[in-house]
């Protein structure tokens, strides 16, 4: 395969003792940018699988809490 102009220039800079730009590259260059971001149809369906289902005994883990605060002001 032929070498690109950019690669030839990088090799020339390295031969001359100058900094090779490849050495400055971070790890972000090697990241796989083809990863999936949105959910698949199967993931989306599984998320809503048990949305409207209630347990048989009515105990779904929720509770009701009230608090009364009575203040007396003595004047």
- pLDDT of residue 55 exceeding 60, the answer is no
Planar angle of CA 4, 6, 11, nearest 5 degrees: 95
pTM: 0.35
Predicted pLDDT at 25:
80
Predicted pLDDT at 4:
94
């Amino acid at each position: 395969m032929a070498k690109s102009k950019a690669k030839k220039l990088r090799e020339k800079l390295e031969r001359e003792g100058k900094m090779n730009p490849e050495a400055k590259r971070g790890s972000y260059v090697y990241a796989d940018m083809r990863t999936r971001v949105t959910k698949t149809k199967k993931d989306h369906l599984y998320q809503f699988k048990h949305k409207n289902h209630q347990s048989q005994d009515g105990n779904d883990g929720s509770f009701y809490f009230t608090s009364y605060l009575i203040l007396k002001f003595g004047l």
